[in-house]
Structure 1
Protein backbone atom coordinates (compact mmCIF):
# COMPACT_ATOMS: atom_id res chain seq x y z
CA UNK A 1 0.00 0.00 0.00
CA UNK A 2 1.06 3.58 -0.66
CA UNK A 3 2.33 4.98 2.66
CA UNK A 4 0.06 7.53 4.28
CA UNK A 5 0.38 10.05 7.06
CA UNK A 6 -2.15 11.65 9.36
CA UNK A 7 -2.41 15.06 10.91
CA UNK A 8 -4.96 17.03 12.89
CA UNK A 9 -5.91 20.61 12.10
CA UNK A 10 -8.54 22.89 13.62
CA UNK A 11 -11.45 23.54 11.27
CA UNK A 12 -14.05 26.00 12.53
CA UNK A 13 -13.38 25.02 16.13
CA UNK A 14 -13.32 21.25 15.57
CA UNK A 15 -10.24 19.02 15.73
CA UNK A 16 -10.22 17.56 12.22
CA UNK A 17 -8.35 14.47 11.05
CA UNK A 18 -6.72 14.59 7.62
CA UNK A 19 -5.15 11.73 5.66
CA UNK A 20 -2.27 12.44 3.23
CA UNK A 21 -0.61 10.37 0.53
CA UNK A 22 2.14 11.30 -1.90
CA UNK A 23 4.78 13.97 -2.18
CA UNK A 24 4.50 17.37 -0.58
CA UNK A 25 4.71 19.87 -3.43
CA UNK A 26 3.09 17.55 -5.99
CA UNK A 27 -0.22 18.56 -7.60
CA UNK A 28 -2.98 18.22 -5.02
CA UNK A 29 -6.19 16.21 -5.25
CA UNK A 30 -8.71 16.67 -2.45
CA UNK A 31 -10.90 13.59 -1.87
CA UNK A 32 -14.03 13.92 0.28
CA UNK A 33 -15.72 10.77 1.56
CA UNK A 34 -19.40 9.90 1.86
CA UNK A 35 -21.82 9.18 4.70
CA UNK A 36 -20.50 6.77 7.34
CA UNK A 37 -17.13 6.60 5.61
CA UNK A 38 -13.66 8.00 6.34
CA UNK A 39 -10.86 9.64 4.40
CA UNK A 40 -8.69 6.51 4.60
CA UNK A 41 -11.30 4.81 2.41
CA UNK A 42 -9.54 6.21 -0.68
CA UNK A 43 -6.40 4.14 0.01
CA UNK A 44 -7.10 1.63 -2.76
CA UNK A 45 -7.58 4.36 -5.39
CA UNK A 46 -4.37 6.07 -4.30
CA UNK A 47 -2.53 2.74 -4.55
CA UNK A 48 -3.61 2.50 -8.20
CA UNK A 49 -2.71 6.05 -9.23
CA UNK A 50 0.39 6.22 -11.40
CA UNK A 51 1.22 9.92 -11.38
CA UNK A 52 2.96 12.23 -8.93
CA UNK A 53 0.14 13.47 -6.68
CA UNK A 54 -0.44 14.78 -3.19
CA UNK A 55 -3.83 13.36 -2.16
CA UNK A 56 -5.54 15.00 0.83
CA UNK A 57 -8.58 13.27 2.35
CA UNK A 58 -10.14 14.65 5.55
CA UNK A 59 -12.69 12.98 7.79
CA UNK A 60 -15.87 15.09 7.76
CA UNK A 61 -17.12 16.38 11.12
CA UNK A 62 -18.77 13.58 13.05
CA UNK A 63 -16.96 10.82 11.13
CA UNK A 64 -13.71 8.95 11.69
CA UNK A 65 -11.29 10.71 14.02
CA UNK A 66 -12.71 14.21 13.50
CA UNK A 67 -14.59 15.83 16.38
CA UNK A 68 -18.37 15.65 16.54
CA UNK A 69 -20.79 18.53 16.29
CA UNK A 70 -22.02 18.24 19.84
CA UNK A 71 -25.51 19.13 18.57
CA UNK A 72 -28.68 17.27 17.61
CA UNK A 73 -28.29 17.38 13.83
CA UNK A 74 -25.84 17.88 10.97
CA UNK A 75 -26.56 20.11 8.02
CA UNK A 76 -24.96 20.72 4.64
CA UNK A 77 -23.97 24.38 5.17
CA UNK A 78 -21.56 23.24 7.89
CA UNK A 79 -19.96 20.71 5.56
CA UNK A 80 -19.63 23.34 2.82
CA UNK A 81 -18.04 25.79 5.25
CA UNK A 82 -15.69 23.10 6.57
CA UNK A 83 -14.61 22.30 3.01
CA UNK A 84 -13.94 25.97 2.32
CA UNK A 85 -11.77 26.18 5.44
CA UNK A 86 -9.86 22.97 4.58
CA UNK A 87 -9.09 24.19 1.05
CA UNK A 88 -7.96 27.58 2.35
CA UNK A 89 -5.68 25.82 4.83
CA UNK A 90 -3.93 23.61 2.28
CA UNK A 91 -4.22 25.74 -0.86
CA UNK A 92 -5.15 29.32 -0.01
CA UNK A 93 -4.86 30.51 -3.60
CA UNK A 94 -5.45 29.18 -7.09
CA UNK A 95 -7.63 26.33 -8.32
CA UNK A 96 -7.99 22.86 -6.86
CA UNK A 97 -8.79 19.37 -8.06
CA UNK A 98 -11.76 18.26 -5.98
CA UNK A 99 -13.40 14.83 -5.71
CA UNK A 100 -16.35 13.70 -3.65
CA UNK A 101 -18.14 10.39 -3.17
CA UNK A 102 -21.86 10.08 -2.39
CA UNK A 103 -22.65 12.66 0.33
CA UNK A 104 -19.19 14.10 -0.30
CA UNK A 105 -19.98 14.33 -4.03
CA UNK A 106 -23.09 16.33 -3.27
CA UNK A 107 -21.17 18.68 -0.98
CA UNK A 108 -18.28 19.30 -3.38
CA UNK A 109 -20.74 19.98 -6.22
CA UNK A 110 -22.59 22.57 -4.16
CA UNK A 111 -19.27 24.14 -3.21
CA UNK A 112 -18.07 24.19 -6.83
CA UNK A 113 -21.09 26.35 -7.71
CA UNK A 114 -20.59 28.64 -4.75
CA UNK A 115 -16.85 29.11 -5.39
CA UNK A 116 -16.58 28.32 -9.14
CA UNK A 117 -13.33 30.27 -9.49
CA UNK A 118 -11.62 27.88 -7.04
CA UNK A 119 -12.20 24.65 -8.97
CA UNK A 120 -9.89 23.33 -11.69
CA UNK A 121 -11.47 19.88 -12.08
CA UNK A 122 -14.46 18.38 -10.24
CA UNK A 123 -15.12 14.64 -9.85
CA UNK A 124 -18.49 13.48 -8.54
CA UNK A 125 -18.72 9.77 -7.63
CA UNK A 126 -22.39 8.87 -7.23
CA UNK A 127 -23.17 12.20 -5.54
CA UNK A 128 -26.75 12.18 -6.81
CA UNK A 129 -28.18 13.99 -3.80
CA UNK A 130 -31.40 13.00 -2.09
CA UNK A 131 -34.96 12.70 -3.21
CA UNK A 132 -36.59 16.11 -3.60
CA UNK A 133 -38.79 17.28 -0.74
CA UNK A 134 -41.68 19.73 -0.54
CA UNK A 135 -42.60 22.27 2.10
CA UNK A 136 -45.68 20.24 3.04
CA UNK A 137 -43.34 17.56 4.44
CA UNK A 138 -41.85 19.90 7.04
CA UNK A 139 -44.32 19.31 9.92
CA UNK A 140 -43.92 15.54 9.70
CA UNK A 141 -40.15 15.74 9.48
CA UNK A 142 -39.93 18.00 12.53
CA UNK A 143 -42.25 15.68 14.46
CA UNK A 144 -40.22 12.59 13.56
CA UNK A 145 -36.99 14.33 14.56
CA UNK A 146 -38.42 15.46 17.91
CA UNK A 147 -39.71 11.95 18.60
CA UNK A 148 -36.31 10.40 17.88
CA UNK A 149 -34.57 12.89 20.19
CA UNK A 150 -36.38 11.24 23.11
CA UNK A 151 -34.26 8.10 22.64
CA UNK A 152 -30.61 8.99 21.93
CA UNK A 153 -29.21 6.72 19.18
CA UNK A 154 -26.25 4.42 19.72
CA UNK A 155 -23.74 2.89 17.37
CA UNK A 156 -23.70 -0.87 17.27
CA UNK A 157 -20.56 -2.44 18.69
CA UNK A 158 -18.74 -5.63 17.68
CA UNK A 159 -16.69 -8.13 19.64
CA UNK A 160 -13.67 -7.90 17.34
CA UNK A 161 -12.21 -5.98 14.45
CA UNK A 162 -12.69 -9.11 12.34
CA UNK A 163 -16.42 -8.88 13.07
CA UNK A 164 -16.40 -5.30 11.78
CA UNK A 165 -14.69 -6.50 8.59
CA UNK A 166 -17.31 -9.24 8.19
CA UNK A 167 -20.07 -6.64 8.57
CA UNK A 168 -18.48 -4.53 5.83
CA UNK A 169 -18.38 -7.55 3.54
CA UNK A 170 -22.03 -8.29 4.27
CA UNK A 171 -22.90 -4.79 3.03
CA UNK A 172 -20.50 -5.05 0.10
CA UNK A 173 -19.78 -8.64 -0.99
CA UNK A 174 -17.21 -7.38 -3.51
CA UNK A 175 -14.81 -6.43 -0.71
CA UNK A 176 -11.84 -8.76 -0.49
CA UNK A 177 -10.73 -10.02 2.91
CA UNK A 178 -7.64 -7.82 2.72
CA UNK A 179 -9.57 -4.65 1.90
CA UNK A 180 -12.23 -5.34 4.51
CA UNK A 181 -9.53 -5.87 7.16
CA UNK A 182 -7.88 -2.58 6.20
CA UNK A 183 -11.13 -0.62 6.28
CA UNK A 184 -12.14 -2.09 9.64
CA UNK A 185 -9.02 -0.53 11.18
CA UNK A 186 -10.16 2.94 10.12
CA UNK A 187 -13.93 2.59 10.45
CA UNK A 188 -13.87 1.38 14.06
CA UNK A 189 -12.06 1.73 17.36
CA UNK A 190 -12.05 -0.18 20.61
CA UNK A 191 -14.13 1.34 23.42
CA UNK A 192 -13.57 1.18 27.17
CA UNK A 193 -15.42 -2.13 27.36
CA UNK A 194 -13.12 -3.77 24.83
CA UNK A 195 -15.68 -3.82 22.03
CA UNK A 196 -15.28 -2.24 18.60
CA UNK A 197 -17.47 0.74 17.72
CA UNK A 198 -18.00 2.35 14.32
CA UNK A 199 -16.34 5.78 14.21
CA UNK A 200 -19.37 7.88 13.50
CA UNK A 201 -21.56 10.17 15.56
CA UNK A 202 -24.79 8.25 16.37
CA UNK A 203 -26.68 11.48 15.64
CA UNK A 204 -26.16 10.69 11.94
CA UNK A 205 -28.66 7.85 12.36
CA UNK A 206 -31.49 10.18 13.36
CA UNK A 207 -33.99 11.67 10.96
CA UNK A 208 -33.03 15.19 9.93
CA UNK A 209 -35.55 17.99 10.38
CA UNK A 210 -34.04 19.73 7.35
CA UNK A 211 -35.63 19.28 3.95
CA UNK A 212 -33.51 18.59 0.86
CA UNK A 213 -34.22 21.53 -1.44
CA UNK A 214 -33.18 20.29 -4.86
CA UNK A 215 -33.88 23.61 -6.61
CA UNK A 216 -31.30 25.31 -4.38
CA UNK A 217 -28.78 22.54 -5.06
CA UNK A 218 -29.27 22.74 -8.83
CA UNK A 219 -28.95 26.51 -8.74
CA UNK A 220 -25.44 25.90 -7.39
CA UNK A 221 -24.72 23.20 -9.99
CA UNK A 222 -25.63 25.60 -12.79
CA UNK A 223 -22.87 27.99 -11.67
CA UNK A 224 -20.10 25.37 -11.92
CA UNK A 225 -17.60 26.43 -14.58
CA UNK A 226 -15.00 23.66 -14.19
CA UNK A 227 -15.10 20.45 -16.22
CA UNK A 228 -16.94 17.73 -14.28
CA UNK A 229 -16.33 13.98 -14.32
CA UNK A 230 -19.49 12.18 -13.23
CA UNK A 231 -19.07 8.48 -12.39
CA UNK A 232 -21.90 6.05 -11.63
CA UNK A 233 -21.73 2.34 -10.77
CA UNK A 234 -23.65 -0.08 -12.96
CA UNK A 235 -24.82 -2.03 -9.88
CA UNK A 236 -25.58 0.98 -7.69
CA UNK A 237 -28.22 0.84 -4.97
CA UNK A 238 -29.01 4.54 -5.29
CA UNK A 239 -32.59 3.60 -6.16
CA UNK A 240 -33.11 2.83 -2.47
CA UNK A 241 -33.07 6.53 -1.62
CA UNK A 242 -33.96 8.09 -4.98
CA UNK A 243 -37.24 6.25 -5.62
CA UNK A 244 -38.38 3.77 -8.31
CA UNK A 245 -35.59 3.08 -10.78
CA UNK A 246 -37.17 4.51 -13.95
CA UNK A 247 -38.30 7.68 -12.20
CA UNK A 248 -34.97 8.05 -10.41
CA UNK A 249 -33.03 7.57 -13.67
CA UNK A 250 -35.01 10.37 -15.31
CA UNK A 251 -34.45 12.61 -12.29
CA UNK A 252 -30.70 11.95 -12.22
CA UNK A 253 -30.47 12.78 -15.93
CA UNK A 254 -32.44 15.97 -15.30
CA UNK A 255 -29.99 16.97 -12.59
CA UNK A 256 -27.04 16.19 -14.85
CA UNK A 257 -28.44 18.57 -17.47
CA UNK A 258 -27.62 21.45 -15.09
CA UNK A 259 -23.87 20.78 -15.45
CA UNK A 260 -22.39 22.72 -18.36
CA UNK A 261 -19.19 20.70 -18.89
CA UNK A 262 -19.89 17.16 -17.75
CA UNK A 263 -18.36 13.85 -18.85
CA UNK A 264 -20.50 10.96 -17.61
CA UNK A 265 -18.99 7.50 -17.09
CA UNK A 266 -20.45 4.17 -16.02
CA UNK A 267 -18.28 1.96 -13.81
CA UNK A 268 -18.73 -1.76 -14.65
CA UNK A 269 -18.94 -4.46 -12.01
CA UNK A 270 -19.23 -2.00 -9.13
CA UNK A 271 -21.73 -0.97 -6.51
CA UNK A 272 -22.16 2.36 -4.74
CA UNK A 273 -18.74 2.01 -3.05
CA UNK A 274 -17.08 2.04 -6.45
CA UNK A 275 -13.79 3.33 -5.00
CA UNK A 276 -13.57 0.00 -3.14
CA UNK A 277 -14.88 -2.19 -5.96
CA UNK A 278 -12.94 -0.85 -8.96
CA UNK A 279 -10.09 1.33 -7.64
CA UNK A 280 -7.77 0.59 -10.57
CA UNK A 281 -10.30 1.59 -13.21
CA UNK A 282 -11.35 4.62 -11.18
CA UNK A 283 -7.73 5.73 -10.80
CA UNK A 284 -7.30 5.49 -14.57
CA UNK A 285 -10.42 7.60 -15.15
CA UNK A 286 -9.25 10.20 -12.63
CA UNK A 287 -5.76 10.60 -14.02
CA UNK A 288 -7.00 10.86 -17.61
CA UNK A 289 -9.46 13.54 -16.52
CA UNK A 290 -6.95 15.44 -14.37
CA UNK A 291 -4.19 15.42 -16.97
Structure 2
Protein backbone atom coordinates (compact mmCIF):
# COMPACT_ATOMS: atom_id res chain seq x y z
CA UNK A 1 0.00 0.00 0.00
CA UNK A 2 1.12 3.56 -0.69
CA UNK A 3 2.86 5.22 2.25
CA UNK A 4 2.48 9.03 2.39
CA UNK A 5 5.77 10.89 2.53
CA UNK A 6 4.31 13.93 4.27
CA UNK A 7 1.96 13.30 7.15
CA UNK A 8 -1.19 15.39 7.22
CA UNK A 9 -3.02 16.45 10.32
CA UNK A 10 -6.76 16.99 10.34
CA UNK A 11 -9.03 19.36 12.17
CA UNK A 12 -12.65 20.44 12.19
CA UNK A 13 -13.67 24.05 11.63
CA UNK A 14 -17.18 25.37 12.19
CA UNK A 15 -18.28 26.93 8.90
CA UNK A 16 -21.88 27.99 8.19
CA UNK A 17 -23.38 25.57 10.74
CA UNK A 18 -21.28 22.71 9.38
CA UNK A 19 -18.28 20.97 10.94
CA UNK A 20 -15.85 21.28 8.05
CA UNK A 21 -13.18 18.61 7.89
CA UNK A 22 -9.83 20.04 6.79
CA UNK A 23 -6.52 18.33 6.02
CA UNK A 24 -3.35 20.35 6.67
CA UNK A 25 0.34 20.05 5.90
CA UNK A 26 2.95 22.43 7.25
CA UNK A 27 2.35 25.60 9.22
CA UNK A 28 1.64 29.24 8.39
CA UNK A 29 4.73 31.08 7.21
CA UNK A 30 5.12 34.86 7.62
CA UNK A 31 4.72 36.62 4.30
CA UNK A 32 4.00 33.40 2.39
CA UNK A 33 0.61 32.75 0.81
CA UNK A 34 -1.16 29.60 2.01
CA UNK A 35 -1.78 27.02 -0.71
CA UNK A 36 -5.42 25.88 -0.76
CA UNK A 37 -6.30 22.69 -2.67
CA UNK A 38 -9.97 22.02 -3.42
CA UNK A 39 -11.17 18.68 -4.73
CA UNK A 40 -13.72 17.65 -7.33
CA UNK A 41 -17.11 15.96 -7.35
CA UNK A 42 -17.29 12.69 -5.38
CA UNK A 43 -13.72 13.18 -4.20
CA UNK A 44 -12.09 14.13 -0.88
CA UNK A 45 -9.33 16.40 0.38
CA UNK A 46 -7.06 13.38 0.92
CA UNK A 47 -6.99 12.99 -2.86
CA UNK A 48 -4.25 15.66 -2.92
CA UNK A 49 -1.80 13.53 -0.89
CA UNK A 50 0.09 12.29 -3.96
CA UNK A 51 0.66 15.84 -5.21
CA UNK A 52 1.70 17.10 -1.77
CA UNK A 53 4.21 14.25 -1.53
CA UNK A 54 5.61 15.25 -4.94
CA UNK A 55 6.34 18.87 -3.98
CA UNK A 56 9.99 19.69 -3.43
CA UNK A 57 11.21 19.72 0.15
CA UNK A 58 11.80 23.46 0.14
CA UNK A 59 8.38 24.25 -1.30
CA UNK A 60 6.47 21.98 1.09
CA UNK A 61 8.37 23.37 4.08
CA UNK A 62 7.82 26.94 3.01
CA UNK A 63 4.08 27.27 3.26
CA UNK A 64 0.94 25.90 4.82
CA UNK A 65 -1.11 23.60 2.56
CA UNK A 66 -4.86 23.33 3.19
CA UNK A 67 -7.26 20.76 1.67
CA UNK A 68 -10.88 20.76 2.90
CA UNK A 69 -13.57 18.18 2.26
CA UNK A 70 -16.40 20.08 0.55
CA UNK A 71 -19.83 19.96 2.19
CA UNK A 72 -21.45 16.58 1.65
CA UNK A 73 -18.13 14.92 0.78
CA UNK A 74 -15.56 13.12 2.88
CA UNK A 75 -16.03 13.88 6.56
CA UNK A 76 -17.87 17.18 6.07
CA UNK A 77 -21.38 15.84 6.43
CA UNK A 78 -24.60 17.72 7.21
CA UNK A 79 -26.06 17.06 10.63
CA UNK A 80 -29.49 16.39 9.11
CA UNK A 81 -30.45 14.67 5.84
CA UNK A 82 -30.09 16.90 2.78
CA UNK A 83 -31.90 16.41 -0.53
CA UNK A 84 -29.85 18.68 -2.78
CA UNK A 85 -26.73 20.86 -2.90
CA UNK A 86 -26.28 24.30 -4.50
CA UNK A 87 -23.09 25.30 -6.30
CA UNK A 88 -23.10 28.76 -4.67
CA UNK A 89 -22.69 27.15 -1.25
CA UNK A 90 -19.15 26.11 -2.15
CA UNK A 91 -18.28 29.76 -2.74
CA UNK A 92 -19.61 30.86 0.64
CA UNK A 93 -17.92 27.91 2.35
CA UNK A 94 -14.59 28.74 0.75
CA UNK A 95 -14.96 32.40 1.64
CA UNK A 96 -15.34 31.60 5.33
CA UNK A 97 -12.65 28.94 5.30
CA UNK A 98 -10.25 31.59 4.00
CA UNK A 99 -11.40 33.95 6.77
CA UNK A 100 -10.33 31.27 9.24
CA UNK A 101 -7.02 30.22 7.71
CA UNK A 102 -5.76 33.31 5.90
CA UNK A 103 -7.62 36.36 7.17
CA UNK A 104 -6.97 39.21 4.76
CA UNK A 105 -3.90 37.53 3.25
CA UNK A 106 -4.30 36.51 -0.43
CA UNK A 107 -3.90 32.80 -1.08
CA UNK A 108 -2.81 30.53 -3.91
CA UNK A 109 -5.81 28.45 -4.97
CA UNK A 110 -5.74 25.13 -6.83
CA UNK A 111 -8.92 23.32 -7.85
CA UNK A 112 -9.60 20.06 -9.67
CA UNK A 113 -12.70 19.42 -11.80
CA UNK A 114 -15.69 20.77 -9.82
CA UNK A 115 -13.15 22.39 -7.49
CA UNK A 116 -11.54 24.04 -10.50
CA UNK A 117 -14.89 25.49 -11.49
CA UNK A 118 -15.40 26.75 -7.94
CA UNK A 119 -11.92 28.30 -8.01
CA UNK A 120 -12.58 30.13 -11.28
CA UNK A 121 -15.91 31.52 -10.10
CA UNK A 122 -14.52 32.48 -6.70
CA UNK A 123 -11.57 34.18 -8.41
CA UNK A 124 -14.04 36.46 -10.18
CA UNK A 125 -16.21 37.07 -7.12
CA UNK A 126 -13.34 37.74 -4.70
CA UNK A 127 -10.43 38.72 -6.94
CA UNK A 128 -8.56 40.42 -4.12
CA UNK A 129 -8.30 37.16 -2.15
CA UNK A 130 -6.47 35.15 -4.82
CA UNK A 131 -2.77 35.66 -5.57
CA UNK A 132 -2.47 32.86 -8.15
CA UNK A 133 -5.02 30.36 -9.42
CA UNK A 134 -4.48 26.89 -10.90
CA UNK A 135 -7.43 25.16 -12.57
CA UNK A 136 -7.02 21.43 -13.19
CA UNK A 137 -9.64 20.20 -15.66
CA UNK A 138 -12.35 22.58 -14.40
CA UNK A 139 -13.96 23.23 -17.76
CA UNK A 140 -17.38 24.54 -16.81
CA UNK A 141 -20.43 23.14 -18.59
CA UNK A 142 -21.99 23.19 -22.04
CA UNK A 143 -23.91 26.28 -23.07
CA UNK A 144 -27.64 26.23 -22.35
CA UNK A 145 -30.70 28.05 -23.70
CA UNK A 146 -33.53 29.56 -21.62
CA UNK A 147 -35.98 27.21 -23.32
CA UNK A 148 -34.38 24.36 -21.35
CA UNK A 149 -35.47 25.85 -18.00
CA UNK A 150 -38.95 24.27 -17.67
CA UNK A 151 -37.60 20.77 -18.29
CA UNK A 152 -34.65 21.32 -15.98
CA UNK A 153 -36.82 22.36 -13.03
CA UNK A 154 -39.11 19.37 -13.66
CA UNK A 155 -36.09 17.05 -13.77
CA UNK A 156 -34.81 18.47 -10.49
CA UNK A 157 -38.14 17.90 -8.73
CA UNK A 158 -38.41 14.35 -10.05
CA UNK A 159 -34.86 13.51 -8.96
CA UNK A 160 -35.64 14.75 -5.45
CA UNK A 161 -38.48 12.21 -5.39
CA UNK A 162 -36.12 9.52 -6.65
CA UNK A 163 -33.71 10.42 -3.85
CA UNK A 164 -36.47 10.13 -1.26
CA UNK A 165 -37.30 6.67 -2.61
CA UNK A 166 -33.65 5.63 -2.29
CA UNK A 167 -33.22 5.24 -6.05
CA UNK A 168 -30.05 7.36 -6.18
CA UNK A 169 -28.20 5.45 -3.47
CA UNK A 170 -24.51 4.92 -4.16
CA UNK A 171 -23.16 1.41 -4.54
CA UNK A 172 -21.54 -0.18 -1.50
CA UNK A 173 -18.65 -2.67 -1.37
CA UNK A 174 -17.75 -5.75 0.66
CA UNK A 175 -14.46 -4.28 1.84
CA UNK A 176 -11.79 -1.66 1.14
CA UNK A 177 -10.28 -3.87 -1.55
CA UNK A 178 -13.57 -3.69 -3.41
CA UNK A 179 -13.42 0.09 -3.24
CA UNK A 180 -9.85 0.03 -4.55
CA UNK A 181 -10.92 -2.15 -7.48
CA UNK A 182 -13.67 0.36 -8.23
CA UNK A 183 -11.14 3.20 -8.26
CA UNK A 184 -8.85 1.32 -10.63
CA UNK A 185 -11.72 0.42 -12.93
CA UNK A 186 -12.67 4.08 -13.22
CA UNK A 187 -9.04 5.11 -13.63
CA UNK A 188 -6.85 2.34 -15.12
CA UNK A 189 -3.75 4.50 -14.62
CA UNK A 190 -4.10 4.40 -10.83
CA UNK A 191 -1.55 1.95 -9.34
CA UNK A 192 -2.86 -0.71 -6.97
CA UNK A 193 -0.89 0.63 -3.99
CA UNK A 194 -2.29 4.14 -4.39
CA UNK A 195 -5.79 2.76 -4.95
CA UNK A 196 -5.56 0.74 -1.72
CA UNK A 197 -4.51 3.82 0.26
CA UNK A 198 -7.05 6.14 -1.36
CA UNK A 199 -9.90 3.65 -0.91
CA UNK A 200 -9.54 3.97 2.86
CA UNK A 201 -9.76 7.76 2.62
CA UNK A 202 -12.49 7.86 -0.02
CA UNK A 203 -14.83 5.35 1.67
CA UNK A 204 -15.59 3.91 5.10
CA UNK A 205 -17.51 0.95 6.55
CA UNK A 206 -21.10 1.54 7.61
CA UNK A 207 -23.08 0.02 10.46
CA UNK A 208 -23.74 -3.02 8.26
CA UNK A 209 -20.01 -3.52 7.66
CA UNK A 210 -20.20 -2.64 3.96
CA UNK A 211 -17.91 0.08 2.62
CA UNK A 212 -19.63 3.19 1.30
CA UNK A 213 -18.20 6.14 -0.59
CA UNK A 214 -17.91 9.25 1.59
CA UNK A 215 -20.19 11.30 -0.63
CA UNK A 216 -23.84 12.21 -0.17
CA UNK A 217 -25.98 10.64 -2.89
CA UNK A 218 -27.97 13.89 -3.03
CA UNK A 219 -25.04 15.28 -5.06
CA UNK A 220 -26.39 13.21 -7.95
CA UNK A 221 -29.47 15.42 -8.19
CA UNK A 222 -29.24 17.80 -11.14
CA UNK A 223 -28.71 21.53 -10.55
CA UNK A 224 -32.09 23.22 -11.11
CA UNK A 225 -30.38 26.33 -12.47
CA UNK A 226 -29.06 26.37 -16.02
CA UNK A 227 -25.38 27.07 -16.63
CA UNK A 228 -25.15 30.50 -18.29
CA UNK A 229 -22.09 31.09 -20.41
CA UNK A 230 -22.52 34.88 -20.34
CA UNK A 231 -22.33 34.84 -16.53
CA UNK A 232 -19.30 32.53 -16.59
CA UNK A 233 -17.48 34.84 -18.99
CA UNK A 234 -18.23 37.86 -16.80
CA UNK A 235 -16.75 36.01 -13.84
CA UNK A 236 -13.70 34.98 -15.85
CA UNK A 237 -13.15 38.59 -16.89
CA UNK A 238 -13.26 39.70 -13.25
CA UNK A 239 -10.35 37.44 -12.21
CA UNK A 240 -7.26 39.53 -11.47
CA UNK A 241 -4.88 36.74 -10.45
CA UNK A 242 -2.68 35.02 -13.01
CA UNK A 243 -4.35 31.73 -14.00
CA UNK A 244 -2.80 28.43 -15.06
CA UNK A 245 -5.29 26.13 -16.78
CA UNK A 246 -4.10 22.52 -16.86
CA UNK A 247 -5.67 19.71 -18.87
CA UNK A 248 -4.87 16.07 -19.55
CA UNK A 249 -3.86 15.01 -23.02
CA UNK A 250 -6.71 12.46 -23.13
CA UNK A 251 -9.31 15.22 -23.73
CA UNK A 252 -11.73 14.08 -21.04
CA UNK A 253 -14.01 17.01 -21.92
CA UNK A 254 -14.92 15.56 -25.31
CA UNK A 255 -15.30 12.11 -23.76
CA UNK A 256 -18.00 13.46 -21.44
CA UNK A 257 -19.86 15.85 -23.70
CA UNK A 258 -19.09 14.70 -27.26
CA UNK A 259 -20.14 17.49 -29.61
CA UNK A 260 -22.14 19.36 -26.93
CA UNK A 261 -18.99 21.03 -25.57
CA UNK A 262 -15.41 20.89 -26.83
CA UNK A 263 -11.93 21.90 -25.73
CA UNK A 264 -11.92 24.51 -28.48
CA UNK A 265 -14.98 26.12 -26.91
CA UNK A 266 -13.37 26.02 -23.47
CA UNK A 267 -10.19 27.62 -24.82
CA UNK A 268 -12.32 30.36 -26.37
CA UNK A 269 -13.88 31.05 -22.98
CA UNK A 270 -10.40 31.31 -21.46
CA UNK A 271 -9.64 34.29 -23.72
CA UNK A 272 -11.85 36.31 -21.38
CA UNK A 273 -9.36 35.78 -18.52
CA UNK A 274 -6.94 38.72 -18.54
CA UNK A 275 -3.82 36.74 -17.52
CA UNK A 276 -3.96 33.04 -18.41
CA UNK A 277 -1.67 30.34 -19.69
CA UNK A 278 -2.34 26.65 -20.38
CA UNK A 279 -0.47 23.40 -19.89
CA UNK A 280 -1.12 19.82 -21.00
CA UNK A 281 -0.16 16.79 -18.91
CA UNK A 282 0.80 13.77 -21.02
CA UNK A 283 -0.29 10.19 -20.30
CA UNK A 284 -3.06 11.36 -17.98
CA UNK A 285 -6.82 11.30 -17.73
CA UNK A 286 -9.25 13.48 -15.82
CA UNK A 287 -7.67 12.44 -12.48
CA UNK A 288 -4.36 13.86 -13.65
CA UNK A 289 -3.26 14.63 -10.07
CA UNK A 290 -3.36 10.87 -9.45
CA UNK A 291 -1.95 9.85 -12.83
CA UNK A 292 1.03 12.23 -12.94
CA UNK A 293 1.43 13.78 -9.47
CA UNK A 294 5.07 14.73 -10.03
CA UNK A 295 4.22 16.63 -13.22
CA UNK A 296 1.20 18.33 -11.67
CA UNK A 297 3.15 19.22 -8.52
CA UNK A 298 5.92 20.84 -10.55
CA UNK A 299 3.43 22.83 -12.61
CA UNK A 300 1.79 24.12 -9.45
CA UNK A 301 5.06 24.76 -7.64
CA UNK A 302 6.67 26.62 -10.55
CA UNK A 303 3.57 28.72 -11.20
CA UNK A 304 2.79 29.83 -7.67
CA UNK A 305 6.49 30.41 -6.85
CA UNK A 306 6.78 33.15 -9.45
CA UNK A 307 6.99 36.64 -8.03
Would you call these one fold, judging by a TM-score over 0.5? Answer: yes
Q: Tell me which residue corresponds to 2:270.
A: 256
CA RMSD, 1 decimal? 1.4
Contact 2:120 2:135 in 1 (8 A): yes
Structure 2: which 5+ runs fail to align? none
Q: Are 2:304 and 1:290 aligned? A: yes
Q: Tell me which residue corresponds to 2:259.
A: 244
Match runs of 1:114-193 below 5 Å: 114-152=125-163, 153-193=168-208
Query: Which string of whole-angstrom CA distances, capped at 9 and with x for unpartnered residues, describes residues 219-269 of structure 1?
Result: 111011111111000013222444328x51221111111111111000001
Distance 2:271 2:256 in 1: 20
**SS of match in other structure, 1:150:** helix
**SS of match in other structure, 1:225:** coil
2:113 maps to which of 85, 102, 119: 102
Distance 2:222 2:132 in 1: 33
Q: Tell me which residue corresponds to 2:40.
A: 34
**SS of match in other structure, 1:264:** strand
Contact 2:248 2:284 in 1 (8 A): yes
Distance 1:38 1:133 in 2: 29
Q: Are 2:70 and 1:56 aligned? A: no
Task: List 4+ stretches of structure 1 deviating above 4 A.
Answer: none
Structure 1: which 5+ runs fail to align? none
Q: Are 2:103 and 1:92 aligned? A: yes
Q: Are 2:212 and 1:197 aligned? A: yes
Q: Tell me which residue corresponds to 1:8.
A: 12
Distance 2:99 2:255 in 1: 36
If the length of structure 2 is used for normalisation, what is the TM-score?
0.91
Contact 2:251 2:263 in 1 (8 A): no
Following TM superposition, by how much is the alpha carbon of 1:134 offset from its aligned partner in structure 2, in angstroms?
A: 1.5
**SS of match in other structure, 1:92:** coil
Q: Are 2:228 and 1:213 aligned? A: yes
Query: Which string of whole-angstrom CA distances, capped at 9 and with x for unpartnered residues, describes residues 127-157 of structure 1?
Result: 1011121211111111122222222221210
Following TM superposition, by how much is the alpha carbon of 1:290 offset from its aligned partner in structure 2, in angstroms?
A: 1.2
Q: Tell me which residue corresponds to 2:50.
A: 44
Distance 1:176 1:138 in 2: 42
